[in-house]
Amino acid sequence: MRYPEPFLAAHGFDAAERRPLQADASLRHYARLVGGPRPALLMDAPPPEDVRPFARLARHLLQAGLSVPEIIAADEAAGFLILEDFGDATHAALLDAGADPIPLYTEAAGTLAALHAAPVPRGLPAWDAAAMARATAATFLDWWWPAAFGAPASPAAREGLEAALGAMLAPFAEARGFVHRDYFPANLMRLERRSGPRRTGILDFQDAAIGHPAYDLISLVEDARRDVPAAARRAAVAAYLTARPGLDRGAFLGAMAACGAQRHLRVAALWVRLARRDAKPGYLIHGPRCWALLDRSLSQPACAPLRDFLDTHVPREMRRNPPEAA
């Protein structure tokens, strides 16, 4: 991790103790700054990371009344931000410590409804069927497929996947809004001194896009990294739909299934890419969960096009981590 001494000194953090935090799957790094003018984190986002989307969205979401880290100082060209420190109480940490999941998931769903009801910032990329198909191909076809079959995916397989995802997602194309894209407990904070939607702090929103809001809710209740109790899943979905009474419940649940199927396939293969390209095999532990979630999604009528594609090209016994990557 880089420590920009002149930048830190210019904002009063030159004497602050730096405590590196555990890295995630991205290239970003964080350090807690202890003993400075106020509790803060240093974000180091070296190229190809770019802090500008995060900074722009943080300012927008703060103006919308949501709890995201305030930007204390920025050197966007160099890839450094000094951020408000929300502490250590992520929803993931609280769940790991044995907290009741139902209040946490219900609060998260209420905050998500507020996030989706807020004004949408300009300039966000599309998270539509075409973008989702490209992202899925970049993990499933480019990494999982050759690891599983020992050969690259054929042009027919590539065309078939794109067509299947397009057909599955087409019925939900008109419902478009702000999508966080990584809305799950590791990116959510319990802020005890705040109330309502602001009680849940939101992190890692720099990849936000314009897409179907069901993508975020399915990311929350069908988490790729942890098992979600059925009662917590039901409570979160109910809380979200109650907070947004204008939604067509049946269409929204169908969109959840379709978005879930795409996400679970993409992420199941992402773990293989992280293992092979980035030397991070620890993420493979989540593969069985993602494949099981995909199987559950494929049982829904909305997912028939993707189910048919996989039934044609990928035998059920192969829907797992490739043996050599396990």
In this predicted structure, the answer to whether residue 324 has a pLDDT above a threshold of 90 is: no
Provide mean pLDDT across the span 34-43: 96
pLDDT of residue 40: 98
Helix (H) or strand (E) holding 112: helix 101-117
In the prediction, which pLDDT does 22 show? 83
The reply to whether 49 and 151 lie within a common domain is no
Say yes or no: 212 and 318 in one domain. yes
* 157 and 275, same domain (yes or no): yes
- Same domain? For 106 and 154 the reply is yes
Alpha helices for 210-248 (secondary structure H): 214-221, 230-243
| pLDDT tens digits along 61-98 | 999 999 999 999 999 999 999 999 999 999 999 999 99
Share of the chain residues as helix, strand and coil, in percent rounded to the nearest 5: 55, 10, 35
**What average pLDDT does the structure give for the chain?**
96
SS3 (DSSP) at 239? helix
Instruction: Look at the chain and report how many structural domains it folds into.
Output: 2
Domain boundary among 84, 110, 144: 84
Residue 152: the pLDDT is 98
Q: What is the CATH number of the domain that holds 77?
A: 3.30.200.20
User: In terms of Cα–Cα distance, which of 189, 10, 203, 196 is closest to 99?
Assistant: 189
* CA proximity to 44, closest of 83, 8, 5, 80: 80
Mean pLDDT, rounded, for 43-48: 92
| One domain for residues 98 and 74 | no
- Give the residue from 68, 84, 100 where a domain finishes: 84
Domain shared by 65 and 101, yes or no: no
Q: pLDDT above 90 covers what percent of the chain?
A: 95
- In this prediction, residue 25 carries a pLDDT of 64
pLDDT digits over 273-315, tens only? 999 999 999 999 999 999 999 999 999 999 999 999 999 999 9
Are residues 35 and 97 both part of a single domain? no
Asked if residue 82 lies in contact with residue 42, where contact means CB atoms within 8 angstroms, the answer is yes
Beta strands in 60-121, from DSSP E residues, in sequence order: 71-75, 80-84
Tokens found for residue 73: 């100082």
pLDDT in tens, 220-279: 999 999 999 999 999 999 999 999 999 999 999 999 999 999 999 999 999 999 999 999
Give the end of a domain, one of 84, 102, 134. 84
pLDDT beyond 90 at 47: no
pLDDT at 322 over 70: yes
Mean pLDDT on 102-117: 98
State the pLDDT confidence band at 26, using cuts at 50, 70 and 90: confident
Q: Does one domain contain both 167 and 216?
A: yes
Residue 175 pLDDT level (bands cut at 50, 70, 90): confident
Q: Are residues 177 and 99 both part of a single domain?
A: yes
Average pLDDT over residues 94-112: 98
* CATH number, domain with residue 276: 3.90.1200.10
- % of the chain at pLDDT higher than 70: 99
**Range of 221's domain?**
91-325
| 125 plus 241 within the same structural domain | yes
Predicted pLDDT at 197: 97
Q: Residue 173: its pLDDT value, please?
A: 94
In this structure, are 140 and 31 located in the same domain? no
pLDDT category, 317, cuts 50, 70, 90?
very high
Residues 130 and 189 in one domain: yes
Greater model confidence, 262 or 46: 262
Residue 218 pLDDT greater than 80, yes or no? yes
pLDDT of residue 153: 98
